[in-house]
Amino acid sequence: MALTYASSADKARAVAKQIDADGGRALVIRADNADPRAVTAAVERTVEELGRIDILVNNAGIFAGGPLEAVTVEQADRLWAVNVRAALVAAQAAARHMGEGGRIIMIGSALTERVPVAGLTLYAMTKSALTGLTKGLARDLGPRGITVSVVHGGLIDTDMNPADGPGAEFLRMVPALGRYGSAEDIAAAVAHLAGADGRYITGAAITVDGGFAA
């Protein structure tokens, strides 16, 4: 498998090392998703070195928030480039090499269904766009037997939104389950969509949010 990173080289290499230790083969590629040429080049290098591409998971994303009056065009453009345009470019590049049974999986956000506080407009906008992108791609690629779905994660403990970060106590009250989820919760949904049991799921938005949007 191949994984890309923009700045966290050490973390990417650590993941690759674990994959190798588990008997797999990992290719690590530096690619800034804000650069469409880098996104396409990463897909092409993957095919060149690994011989094929069967599954694409678009999980890169950045966050910007704050008062509406403080939002800048530059922030909006960068979030759109990384969170939305890169997903389209990667899907387009990967689809050229995929055959029947190929899978494209987006990582979205439960903010597409519920925005619980102010200051999240830009991020919610970009993640909502992934639902439309998913449905359109599902129609475009369905005749070729390629499925496209999006997983909307809720309050997940990540570097971008740590369970011990500022505001965590308030945020913990938003999901029905009253707690943060883990990366493994999202990975389980992705694995289902990518595996044999996901072969008839396409154009779908799967929400894994502990009741965040309930």
Instruction: Yes or no: say if 200 and 207 are a contact pair by the CB < 8 Å rule.
Output: no
pLDDT by residue, tens only, the chain of 214 residues: 999 999 888 999 999 999 999 999 999 999 999 999 999 999 999 999 999 999 999 999 999 999 999 999 999 999 999 999 999 999 999 999 999 999 999 999 999 999 999 999 999 999 999 999 999 999 999 999 999 999 999 999 998 889 998 889 989 999 999 999 999 999 999 999 999 999 999 999 999 999 999 9
Domains in the chain and their CATH numbers? 54-208 (3.40.50.720)
C-beta of residue 151 within 8 angstroms of C-beta of residue 193: yes
Query: Does the active-site annotation cover 180?
Result: no
Q: What is the rounded CA–CA span in Å between residue 110 and residue 155?
A: 8
Q: Are 103 and 172 in contact (CB under 8 A)?
A: no
Which segments within 53-160 are labelled E, that is strand?
A: 55-58, 103-109, 147-153
* Residues 119, 104: Cα–Cα separation, whole Å: 30
Which one of the listed residues 5, 123, 180, 200 is annotated catalytic? 123
- Cross-strand bridge partners of residue 211: none
